Chain A
């Protein structure tokens, strides 16, 4: 879809233009070009083998699973998967780059084109991808521990990455965050990345520029390593304000790489890597071209799970859910599965959706659990929803049943309802008796009603419900009371 179709919202008369580069660490056992493990948090340099350290004589050998992950991403985003792609060397000196070059892909990446669609509020947005290419991660420089020196840990060096690059299609910080969340959802959903942002498994760089509507693209500044959605929005908002102020004050924006400081809430230009501009890319002579047979792509495709967007559309079609519900319920495969089980077993899709987005999520959040750890099974929830539907319990009473089930006081819904005496009173005889008592005890109120004070009616219903200890069916109470007040 073309840039123009993107709805732009202006900030002080400026259009915000954002492109994303995301580094997703791929979920593999071994490094991309060596057989060293990729586990996070090991002792320094204990997971950096001779190849990762670039010891003299070492050579790279490509990890098949990293390629399979690239294929999965390409399939998930509707990209072209290159039949042949080429690894190139990006040459620059840096202590965390053991070979003095990074093996990446330059002219011919493995994943080409594609798009990410998501909802911003109820507006559907689509961000086009330029490419996603395979490359190796660098090590880490630790600055704290040594005076005047840095310590280099190369455990992370050689961890497989997919760098996912978008067109400058994003028009606001909110949209940027929504895009990043959707991409994060997809890579974790298809299992190519663990998505752990604290550990740096999913790192976003945002290229931000501003322009007057219709003007050519402004000079961009790249905000590096946005490793939380919260900071992402703050950083972009700050950067946009800063750029607009600069321009308004008559200063031109200089292309730069900036870092966001969560403490100050500000971005600052990095000490730019000298001559970073001249990476002297050339095809890596140690690695012949990567060839991906159509049959391999088909194989991977056959094993792919249903994707979140497809599933959301299916939930709308099959269960008549609103888009919003469908999108919320497809946050994770587990959440979606929980819903479908509950909806099917109860035959109450919308009610199931409401309960999962409300009661269940609220309890999970307060206990900082995720759906995988939910103490009440989808089948049990379904049983409870059935009881609400058939009027056995009121919605409020059902919440008390849920509390009990959540707390582990029995699994059988009916038993809990029984034990807690939360059964709704559906026998009209008993209810009429209560109503008669209430009317007798509150003759003045009855008079007021008959005198035309409608408010009195609600008060009487309240008293009836109270007298029934909440077990009375509200509708039924209404009808009978009306009749008697006739």
Chain B
């Protein structure tokens, strides 16, 4: 299968990327070039194969570590916001959010 410009537009919007027509065309060619090499995956029979999300799970069971419920992070607002584009009265500013 190969993608269309419509797909590119839809995906770019989902990913919040600006995609002017010329760039969309280029992107389309490159992605279709990539998905050609993806085709070979189809031939692999993966029925009943459990997906591998955490590599070492191949050899032993991996499970989530749990942390004691202790609030130990101090207020570090100043340092945390030092690279913020727009802050006022401790709030991050963004163009109005309409609900």
Assess A/B contact in the complex (Cβ within 8 A): yes
Asked if B42 is an interface residue, CB under 8 A from chain A, the answer is no
Q: When each residue 70-95 of chain B gets 1 if its CB lies under 8 Å from chain A and 0 otherwise, what string results?
A: 11110111001100000011111111
Q: When each residue 137-157 of chain A gets 1 if its CB lies under 8 Å from chain B and 0 otherwise, what string results?
A: 000011101101111111000
Min CB distance B63 to A, Å, is 4
Q: When each residue 25-44 of chain A gets 1 if its CB lies under 8 Å from chain B and 0 otherwise, what string results?
A: 00011100011111000011
The distance in angstroms between the C-alpha atoms of A390 and B92, with both chains bound, is 70
* Complex contact B94–A152 (CB within 8 A): yes
Which label, helix, strand, loop or mixed, suits the secondary structure of the A interface?
A: loop
The interface residues of chain A lying within 8 Å CB-to-CB of B89 are 44, 145, 151
The distance in angstroms between the C-alpha atoms of A275 and B10, with both chains bound, is 9
State whether A280 and B71 are in contact (beta carbons under 8 Å apart), knowing that A62-B65, A149-B95 are contacts in the complex.
Answer: no
State whether A280 and B14 are in contact (beta carbons under 8 Å apart), knowing that A37-B71, A150-B96 are contacts in the complex.
Answer: yes
The interface residues of chain B lying within 8 Å CB-to-CB of A46 are 75, 77, 90
The interface residues of chain A lying within 8 Å CB-to-CB of B94 are 95, 141, 149-150, 152
The distance in angstroms between the C-alpha atoms of A48 and B75, with both chains bound, is 8
Chain B residues 1 to 50 lying within 8 A of chain A, measured CB to CB, are 13-14, 16
Asked if A285 is an interface residue, CB under 8 A from chain B, the answer is yes
Which label, helix, strand, loop or mixed, suits the secondary structure of the B interface?
A: loop
State whether A34 and B97 are in contact (beta carbons under 8 Å apart), knowing that A62-B66, A63-B66, A278-B14 are contacts in the complex.
Answer: no
The distance in angstroms between the C-alpha atoms of A15 and B16, with both chains bound, is 42
The distance in angstroms between the C-alpha atoms of A288 and B64, with both chains bound, is 5
* Complex contact B80–A53 (CB within 8 A): yes
State whether A49 and B93 are in contact (beta carbons under 8 Å apart), knowing that A62-B65, A288-B62 are contacts in the complex.
Answer: no
The interface residues of chain B lying within 8 Å CB-to-CB of A280 are 14
The distance in angstroms between the C-alpha atoms of A245 and B64, with both chains bound, is 51
What is the total of A-B residue contacts with beta carbons within 8 Å?
128
CB nearest to B61 among chain A residues:
A291
The interface residues of chain A lying within 8 Å CB-to-CB of B97 are 94-96, 141, 143, 150
The distance in angstroms between the C-alpha atoms of A53 and B68, with both chains bound, is 21
The interface residues of chain B lying within 8 Å CB-to-CB of A154 are 92
The interface residues of chain B lying within 8 Å CB-to-CB of A47 are 75
The distance in angstroms between the C-alpha atoms of A30 and B77, with both chains bound, is 17
The distance in angstroms between the C-alpha atoms of A66 and B71, with both chains bound, is 13
* Complex contact A49–B67 (CB within 8 A): no
The distance in angstroms between the C-alpha atoms of A287 and B89, with both chains bound, is 34
Asked if A364 is an interface residue, CB under 8 A from chain B, the answer is no
* Complex contact A289–B63 (CB within 8 A): yes
* Complex contact A270–B99 (CB within 8 A): yes
* Complex contact A288–B14 (CB within 8 A): no
Asked if B59 is an interface residue, CB under 8 A from chain A, the answer is no
The interface residues of chain B lying within 8 Å CB-to-CB of A483 are none
* Complex contact A62–B91 (CB within 8 A): no
* Complex contact A150–B93 (CB within 8 A): yes
The interface residues of chain B lying within 8 Å CB-to-CB of A142 are 91
Asked if A226 is an interface residue, CB under 8 A from chain B, the answer is no
The distance in angstroms between the C-alpha atoms of A18 and B65, with both chains bound, is 38
Known: A62-B65, A141-B94. 20 other contacts (CB 8 A): A30-B69, A30-B71, A30-B73, A43-B77, A44-B89, A45-B77, A49-B73, A50-B80, A62-B67, A64-B67, A66-B69, A143-B97, A145-B89, A145-B91, A149-B95, A150-B96, A151-B88, A152-B93, A153-B91, A271-B98
Q: Would you mind naming 12 contact pairs between A and B with Cβ atoms under 8 Å apart?
A: A29-B71, A30-B69, A35-B67, A45-B92, A84-B63, A93-B16, A143-B96, A151-B92, A270-B99, A283-B53, A288-B65, A289-B62
3 A-B pairs closest in CB distance: A151-B91, A65-B69, A64-B66
